[in-house]
Amino acid sequence: MASTGPTAAIATQPFGKTGHQSSRTIFGAAALGRVSQEDADRTMALVRHHGVNHIDTAASYGESEVRLGPWMEKHRQDYFLATKTGERTYAAARDQIRRSLERLRVQQVDLIQLHNLTDQEEWEAALSPDGALKAAIEAREQGLARFIGVTGHGTQVARMHRAALERFPFDAVLLPYNYPMMQNPQYAADFEALFAVCQERGVAVQTIKAITRAPWGERARTAATWYEPLTDQQDIDTAAHWVLGRPGVFLNTVGDINVLPKVFDAATRFQARPTEQEMAKLMRDERMEPLFI
């Protein structure tokens, strides 16, 4: 899996107001959740080879934090490191954040994120005076984390993130962004409204599900992702370049170590955003469907 020799550099841009120049393609370490340490080490060598300097993981991503631990012990200074807590109460989130640091073998993460915060009831609980946000703020005050973000899935996520930014000055958001999903007029409007607020306030915008083909449905699963990804290199190029063609966003990579090299390959060759006609053709030819309805 690991490549050798020189490769084209993946572009960087400011990660919001954090002061870090992050690679526009962020390594989504969910891909390490169910792999051996040997495969994880090989994957991290590939990440390094492509100049990717930003890693995004989560407490709930299987063994991902554990697999990253040995690499972080040796190369912590080379990466902007983000993880997530899916807990909603202060005490549970506090304990999970500390466990993540232990698993990652680090003293501090750069970004702690409230994970998949889209359900209204959970949203209220996490942002309440005794919620997970309190634990994230405490972690920042204690030097365990430098910045705080919020993530989510679903068609309501952009709207919920915008509300979250009115409640607290998060440093980063993460949400789905791909061509099929942006054909949903309401989601597109909500995304644009959120993006405008983020641009105005210097909030980093991370995007996921760039190369989603469709939900698996009844089809046999041939990848570790919980959706069916595109697999042809040209198709991945088109889908990834459409995301990268939007200034100001980051593309978080696919959750399968065998598809990952194709996403990195696409990112190294990005030059221009595909046209509307090219995207419509890809969506039609590959029978692409929105992952969230």
69 neighbors 99 (Cβ within 8 angstroms): no
For the chain, domain boundaries:
12-285
The pLDDT tens digits of the residues spanning 17-37 come to: 999 999 999 999 999 999 999
The bridge status of strand 21-23 relative to strand 12-14 is: antiparallel
Question: Has residue 3 got a pLDDT over 60?
Answer: no
User: What is the pTM (predicted TM-score) of this model?
Assistant: 0.95
Q: Which CATH number fits domain 12-285: 3.40.50.410, 3.40.50.720, 3.20.20.100, 3.30.1600.10?
A: 3.20.20.100
Residues 58-116: pLDDT tens digits?
Answer: 999 999 999 999 999 999 999 999 999 999 999 999 999 999 999 999 999 999 999 99
Start-end of H helices in the chain: 37-49, 64-75, 90-104, 120-126, 132-141, 157-167, 185-201, 233-244, 260-268, 276-285
Per-residue pLDDT tens over the stretch 223-244: 788 788 999 999 999 999 999 9
| 270 Cβ neighbours under 8 A, 6+ residues apart | 11, 240, 241, 244, 245
Nearest C-alpha neighbor of 101 from the set 130, 147, 66, 75 = 66
Residue 281's region, left for phi above 0, alpha for psi from -120 to 50, else beta, is: alpha
